[in-house]
Structure 1
Amino acid sequence: MNKLKLKMILITAICAVTTGFAQVGINTTNPLSTLDINGNLSVKAITLNGSAAITPIADGVYISLNPLDTDQEFQLPSPVTYPGRIYYLRNINDTYTAKLTTSAGNFFFRPLTSGGVPTIFMYNNHYRTFMVISDGSNWTVFD
């Protein structure tokens, strides 16, 4: 019985180690990254309409912000909670400014390492569309 237990523990350990370093390939038989996609990729695109209250950004990757009045606030989640998360943001309204904030941290424009800002105002011809990536403490802005 002890040999059987030892064999089961050994098999379980081998399976855990093997799957712990797994790579997934989609349309490829030899994935070279954790996720290796040979083909097209679609991400969730949503539109958020502004309101009198803060509009939280909690879902989606490509997000169209539609403020219905000037300086309506759209709030990204904490970069601490979601390290590595990426959002593409676009103000689709030609009349009103979207006010972008975060529940924690600041926005740092690439390649700056200091001088972060807590708010970005998105309006016509100025920060109309950009990408943000969480570094685990703040949001890095790629415009």
Structure 2
Amino acid sequence: MKRLKLILILITAICAVSFGFAQVGINTSQPLSTLDINGNLSVKTVTLTGSGAATLINDGVYISINPQATDQEFQLPNPINYPGRVYIIRNINNTITAKLTTAAGLLFPKGSTTGSAQIYMWEGNRRSVIVISDGSNWTYFD
């Protein structure tokens, strides 16, 4: 009985360790990463229209922002709450500047150690940006 109990405990421990390091493959039989996709990937897209108060960015991955007034604010969530979160943001208004801010931390351009509280997005200058949370701040690529 003791031997059977020990064998069951060992099997349970081995299964727990195996599942703890599982990799998921979509359209591949031997995934090489935690998530390995062999094929196309679609992400949620949303359009946000500016309003009087800051418009919160809290859903989707590809975000089309449409400011209704100059320097209308669109706010990223707190990067501390979303480490590793990625957004692709595009100002779809051809004539109005949008202001991108964050609920906490700063926005850092790639390769820089100088951050700012906001960045401006308009035709011909930073029309589209990719932002990534490092768990403290946002890094942006334009």
Range class of TM-score, shorter chain: over 0.9
Query: Structure 1 residue 18: deviation in Å?
Result: 0.2
Q: CA RMSD, aligned part only?
A: 1.2
Between 94-103 and 1-10, the greater mean CA deviation after superposition: 1-10
Aligned pair count reads: 142
The range that moved more, 8-17 or 69-78, is 8-17
- Give the Cα–Cα distance (whole angstroms) in 2 for the partners of residues 69 and 24 of structure 1: 45
Alignment of 1:67-86 (within 5 A): 67-86=67-86
Match of residue 55 from structure 2: 55
Match of 1:116 in 2: 115
CA distance in 2, matches of 1:80, 1:99: 21
Measure, in 2, the Cα distance between the counterparts of 1:34 and 1:8: 28
Matched to 1:137, the amino acid is S
Q: Give the match for residue 129 of structure 2.
A: 130
Cα distance between partner residues in 1 of 2:67 and 2:4: 65
Matched residue type, 2:138: W
Q: Indicate whether 1:94 and 2:100 are aligned.
A: no
In 2, the alpha carbon distance for the partners of 1:5 and 1:49 equals 62
The whole-number CA distance in structure 2 between the counterparts of 1:124 and 1:59 is 24
Q: CA deviation at 1:3?
A: 4.1
Can you give the 5+ residue segments of structure 2 that lack an aligned partner in the other structure?
Answer: none
Q: CA offsets, 1:100-124, max 9 Å, x none?
A: 1001110110111x21001011111
- Please give the alpha-carbon distance, in whole angstroms, between the structure 2 residues aligned to 1:138 and 1:54: 19
Work out the CA distance in 1 between the residues paired with 2:137 and 2:85.
11
Query: Any residues of structure 2 matched to 1:39-50 within 5 Å, and which?
Result: 39-50=39-50
Q: CA deviation at 1:2?
A: 4.3
Q: Once the 2 structures are TM-superposed, how far is the Cα of residue 14 of structure 1 from its aligned partner?
A: 1.2
Q: Deviations over 1:34-68 (max 9, x none)?
A: 11111100011110010011111111100000011
SS of 1:11's equivalent in the other structure is helix
For structure 1, list consecutive stretches of 5 or more residues without a partner in the other structure.
Answer: none
1:21 aligns with 2:18: no
Distance 1:57 1:130 in 2: 14
**CA offset digits 1:80-138 (Å, max 9, x no partner):** 111111100000001211111001110110111x2100101111111100101111111
